Amino acid sequence: MSPLDLTRAGAASLDEANPLRGCRDLFDLPEGVVYLDGNSLGALPRAVAPHLARVVGAEWGGGLISSWNDADWINLPARVGARIAALIGAPADDVHVGDSTTVLLFKTMVAASRMRPDRRVVVVEPTTFPTDGYVAAGVAELLGLELRWCDPADPAASLDDDVALLALTHVDFRSGALFDMATLTAAAHDVGALVQWDLCHSAGAIPVDLVGVDADFAVGCTYKYLSGGPGSPAYAYVAARHQDRFRQPITGWMGHAHPFEMERDHVPADGVRRVASGTPPVLALSALEAALGVFDGVDLGTLREVSLSLTDYFIALLDDRLGDPFEVITPRERERRGSQVSLRHPDAYGVVQALIARGVVGDFRTPDVARFGFAPLYVSHVDVWDAVEALVAVLASFEHLHPAYAVRNLVT
């Protein structure tokens, strides 16, 4: 890699050469804000508001109940699932969208454990996102299984022939470290275990190839890099080879083979549709469907290169201009890094709040981590330069020590 030009003009040159630079115009970004929190809530795509207005006004307001057929609301989960499938290396028919991440983690963990009835262990990584750990503990209690916490540096060391399921997050939410999905999936399969991947912090910023790595299950949210909106529906992938044996624990009417026959007994639908439970959230799915249009024509390899360029630039600027005050806890090796950079600092909360006051939005994770997400469709290298410039100013003027930042607020 040639030496980076660490001036603002150098950042502008990198943006000029960015093959995805036109994608930024697809988002409604607030003036004067550098938004580096797309790994928590993605920015608003411009197409969402007018599309949602049409759904509400014409389809709901005008079409009323007929829009389940006339506007094809009933097939929204399948249509949106097909669009997400293209971003995670899955066949269009193998992804279901609906419910929350938590619910889909529960469904897939229970179903996977039931597929290995003679095995008694679920392996989870202890620094995983709390929901994943909470759900795994609940499933273990419900099914009488052992919850085994693995070494984050070597999850494969916890695998043996008693493991039913290995459940990992592809990118660590605190550090931004990226697991080797292919190697760990193969290691689990070598001992006869199944694997579930949480893609919340990777899909939409990092190429994922679920079929290529032979993954069994995957779950992900859509409100981070996919920009589906706050609380937008999550998705679940079930490998085709498992779908006929997938026995999920929440057998609602939309997962029935013939939902409108109103039969007393539950008969699972064919394929991934059996993952469904309740009525599709039409408004949320409609917003998500419009949002996913920002990925039309985007090459995922190019997306990854832009992501790495942004994070490389951020780290280089930190090294050049700040040095000791921060510990970069995100791996510097490109192949081990997601699309965020996390910094450890004893006053990380105050640093984040002072940056927000200056119009640079990142976020904080307990106990001492400042996170900065680089959504490659709309974050620019100039954004990165401006963010570091603000960070330098915050530390130089001790703004992060302001008494107002001594008490944490609800989100950041």
Alpha-carbon dihedral 142, 148, 152, 157, rounded to 10 degrees: -140
Please give the Cα distance from 409 to 121 (Å, whole number). Answer: 38
Quick one: tokens of 410? 């609800």
CB within 8 Å of 114: residues ≥ 6 apart = 143, 247
Phi/psi for 194 (5° steps) reads -95, 165
Residue 38's identity, in one-letter code, is G
Please give the Cα distance from 263 to 253 (Å, whole number). Answer: 9
Is-contact 195 218, C-beta < 8 A?
no
Residues facing residue 10 across a β-bridge: none
Exposed/middle/buried for residue 253 (C-beta within 10 Å: 0-12, 13-18, 19+): middle
Q: Of the candidates 154, 167, 157, which has an alpha carbon nearest to the alpha carbon of residue 124?
A: 167
Please give the Cα distance from 94 to 96 (Å, whole number). Answer: 7
Q: Strand ranges (DSSP E) for 254-368?
A: 327-328, 340-344, 360-361, 363-365
Q: Which residues are catalytic?
A: 129, 198, 223-224, 371
CB atoms within 10 A of CB 412: 18
Cα distances (Å, whole numbers) of residue 19 to 208, 261, 300, 376, 401? 20, 51, 12, 11, 40
CA 289 from centroid of its chain's CA atoms:
16
The torsion region of residue 69 among left (phi > 0), alpha (psi -120 to 50) and beta comes to: alpha
Q: Strand ranges (DSSP E) for 297-389?
A: 327-328, 340-344, 360-361, 363-365, 369-373
- DSSP symbol at 363: E
The helix (H) or strand (E) run that includes residue 349 is helix 348-357
Please give the Cα distance from 298 to 287 (Å, whole number). Answer: 20
Q: Of the candidates 146, 155, 287, which has an alpha carbon nearest to the alpha carbon of residue 222?
A: 287
